[in-house]
Amino acid sequence: MSGNKGKIRLKPLHELQSTPEHIELTELKTPEKKKKAGKVRAATTQKKHKELYKNDQQIVANRTAIKRSTRKDQPPNNQLRIDSFFKSAAKTFKVETLPSPSTTKLNINTSQRKPKQKGRKRLFDEETTSESESNLKSVRLPKRAHLPRKAKTVMDLVCIDLCSDPEDVREVKGESPSSEKTIITKEDFQSQVFVTISPQIEPVYSKRQYRSTEKIGSQAPVVESKSLLATAKVQSPMVEIPLQNLAGKTSGTPSEIIAVGASSKENVPIGRRRKSRLCPPYKVIQGTTFAVDGFQFGDIPNVTHYFLTHYHADHYVGLTRKFQHPLYMSPTTARLVRTFIPIDNKYIFEMEIDNPFKLNNIEITAIDANHCPGAIMLFFKLPSGECILHTGDFRASFEMESLPIFWNYNVDLLYLDTTYLSSKYEFCHQTESIDRTLALVREFRKKNALKRILYVCGSYIIGKEKVWQALADEFNLSVWTEPHRRKAIDCLQWPELNLRLYDNEDNADLHILTMGRLSYPSISKNSLPNTTCF
C-alpha cells in the first residue's frame, strides 16, 4: 500500500463535530420543572396502559371466559406466540445459501478496468480479505476478536425474530456468507468504526453543546461546514484505514468518509424555550450549497437547496408547512410529503432515480438506497470533478455494485449515514430475510393447522411492504392497517399491495401495526378469541 491508494481517510468525529467557539454550554441537568413534567407524563402513560390493559382483560375475559396472563408481554392463555415458537425452533433451522452472481469470480484485473467497462463492480475484493484483516490489526481494538470470514453454504441460525425488523434478522452464531460476496457489509467497516468513533470522541458532540442561544437567522452562529472540515484536515491527521478491498484501483475508492448521524436526538436541545439548533456540519454537503435531511435548524446559511433522502420521521423532522426552499426528493417521497406535510408544492422537486440533473453546476444523481420505498442515496459530481456520495439510510446489496455510477466515477468523499457498524450486527440479504420469515410461518401454520391465526406485523410508516406482501401472497391473507399507514401505502403506487388491503379490520388476517401497538393488550383488543397471534 502506498499513499492513499486503497485506503479511506476517515475523519474522526471529534474533528467533524468540533464545538464552534460561539456555542454556549447550557445547563447540564434537566430543570426540575421538566423532570416533574416527565414524571407526570410517565405516570399518565402508565395509568393509561393499566387502564387499557384492565379494559382489555375484561374484554378478553368476557369473550373467552379464560383468565389471561397479567404480564403485558405475555399472550392471553388461549393464544400462542409464533415468536417464542420460532425462537426455540430456530436453533435447528437451516438456510441454504444460494450461489449468487457475486460469488462467481470475474477474473477482471481491477487495475486494468476502464471506467465504462460492463460487469459487476467489486466494491469489496474477495481476494483481499486476509490482507485487509492483517492491515486492520493495527487499528483494531485489542480485545475485539474478529469473526471467521470464510463462508459456508449452510449456516446455523441461533436467533431469528419475526417481531424484529426483518432487515435486522441477524446471525448471532455461525458464519456470514457475505464474506465471499462482494457487497459492502457492516463487518467490512466495523474495525474502522470501533477505532474512530469511540466513546471518548462522541461526547465532544454532546447534545447540549450543539445548542444555539440565538435564533437561526442571518446573524446566527452556525457552523460553516466547509471551513470546519478544512480545519479538521489541517489540524489532525486523518485516521488512515486500509480498505483496499473497497472498489477497484481505477474507480470508486472514497478518499474520505464522513460519519453522518441522522437522528433527531443527536443534538437535542434542553429546556422548553424555543431555541434553534445549530446545524451539524455533515448536514451540508462540502463544497456545495446543499443540505441533506437537515430541516430542524431553521434556514441554514449559504444553503440554497434541501434534499430529503426518505420519508422516515428522524429524517424529515423539522419539515413543516413553513418550509420555503427548493426541496428535492424521489417521486415516492414527494407523494408522501404532499400527503402528510402541507408544504407549498412549488418547493417540491422530484428527482428521477438514476437520472442525473444539474443544480448550480453540480451534477446530482439519486440512487435507490434499498431502504424504505422512495429512499435514495445522493451522488454529487462537483465542477472540480470531485464526487461525493451521501448514502442516507441504505442497505448495501450486491445489486448496488452493478450501478454504472459506481463504475464510472470515483467516490472522493462519502457521507455514511449508518448505525449498524458493529460486528454484532450481521445483515443478510433482504430476500433472505423474507424467505426465512415465510419458512417460519409455513412451519407454524403446519403445527397449528386447526387454529385461526391472526398475523400481526409491526411497521413504521413505511418500510415493511415486501414482508407483508410476501406473507399475504403465499398464504392468501387479507391485510388491514391503520388509516394513517393506509394513506402512506396509497402514496407508494404499488398495485400489488392495494390488492391485498381491506378496510375491514375485523375480517383481516394480517394486521400491519405501529410498533407501539404491538403489545398484547393492543393486539388482543383487535383480535378474536381462539386466535393465534404472532
Restricted to residues 402-431, the positions that interact with DNA (CB under 7 A) are 419
Considering only 268, 356, 357, 493, the residue that binds DNA (CB under 7 A) is 268
Within 98-255, strands assigned E span: 154-156, 239-242
Considering only 156, 408, 518, 526, the residue that binds DNA (CB under 7 A) is 518
CA–CA dist 75, 77 (Å, integer): 6
Which of 98-106, 274-282, 300-308, 382-390 is the region at the interface with DNA (rule: CB under 7 A)?
A: 274-282
Considering only 38, 101, 148, 404, the residue that binds DNA (CB under 7 A) is 38
- Contact call for residue 393 and DNA (CB under 7 A): yes
- Contact call for residue 42 and DNA (CB under 7 A): yes
CA–CA dist 204, 208 (Å, integer): 10
The residue (of 382 and 471) whose beta carbon lies closer to DNA is 471
Beta bridge partners of 348: 327
The residue (of 85 and 311) whose beta carbon lies closer to DNA is 311
The residue (of 296 and 531) whose beta carbon lies closer to DNA is 296
Restricted to residues 361-390, the positions that interact with DNA (CB under 7 A) are 371
CA–CA dist 157, 87 (Å, integer): 10
- Contact call for residue 50 and DNA (CB under 7 A): no
Restricted to residues 233-262, the positions that interact with DNA (CB under 7 A) are 261-262
Which of 39-47, 92-100, 174-182, 327-335 is the region at the interface with DNA (rule: CB under 7 A)?
A: 39-47
Which of 314, 320, 325 has the alpha carbon at shortest distance from 371?
314
CA–CA dist 321, 319 (Å, integer): 7
- Contact call for residue 492 and DNA (CB under 7 A): no
R_g of the chain computed on alpha carbons: 25
Residue 300 · residue 291 · CB < 8 Å = yes
Shortest reach from residue 297's CB to DNA, in Å? 9
The residue (of 453 and 513) whose beta carbon lies closer to DNA is 513
The residue (of 362 and 375) whose beta carbon lies closer to DNA is 375
CA 297 to chain centre: 22
| Total residues binding DNA (CB under 7 A) | 53
Q: Residue 218 corresponds to which cell in the numbers above?
A: 442571518
Q: Residue 123 corresponds to which cell in the numbers above?
A: 466494491
Which of 107-115, 188-196, 264-272, 399-407 is the region at the interface with DNA (rule: CB under 7 A)?
A: 264-272
Q: Are strands 387-390 and 376-381 parallel, antiparallel or unpaired?
A: antiparallel
Considering only 5, 22, 41, 150, the residue that binds DNA (CB under 7 A) is 41
Instruction: Mark residues 128-147: x for contact with DNA by CB under 7 A, - for none.
Output: --------------------
- Contact call for residue 28 and DNA (CB under 7 A): no
- Contact call for residue 274 and DNA (CB under 7 A): yes
CA–CA dist 39, 33 (Å, integer): 10
Which of 169-177, 233-241, 319-327, 434-442 is the region at the interface with DNA (rule: CB under 7 A)?
A: 319-327
Please, is 71 exposed, middle or buried when counting C-beta atoms within 10 Å of its C-beta (0-12, 13-18, 19+)?
A: exposed
The residue (of 315 and 436) whose beta carbon lies closer to DNA is 315
Which of 104-112, 113-121, 151-159, 265-273 is the region at the interface with DNA (rule: CB under 7 A)?
A: 265-273
What's the number of CA atoms in the CB half-sphere (13 Å) around residue 91? 4
Contacts by 215-219, CB closer than 8 A, 24 or more apart: 215/275, 215/276, 215/298, 216/276, 216/277, 216/279, 216/297, 216/298, 216/299, 216/300, 217/298, 217/299, 218/301
The residue (of 252 and 392) whose beta carbon lies closer to DNA is 392
The residue (of 45 and 112) whose beta carbon lies closer to DNA is 45
Please, is 438 exposed, middle or buried when counting C-beta atoms within 10 Å of its C-beta (0-12, 13-18, 19+)?
A: middle
Q: Which residue has the cell 443540505?
A: 291
Restricted to residues 146-185, the positions that interact with DNA (CB under 7 A) are 163
- Contact call for residue 23 and DNA (CB under 7 A): no
Q: What are phi and psi of 501, to 5 degrees?
A: -85, 135
* The three-state (H, E, C) secondary structure of 116-150, written as one string: CCCCCCCCECHHHHHHHHHHHCCCCCCCCCCCCCC
Instruction: Mark residues 447-476: x for contact with DNA by CB under 7 A, - for none.
Output: -----------x-xxx--------------
Binding site for DNA (CB under 7 A): 30, 34-35, 37-42, 44-46, 48-49, 72, 163, 261-263, 265, 268-277, 296, 311-315, 318, 320-322, 371, 393, 419, 458, 460-462, 484, 514-516, 518-519
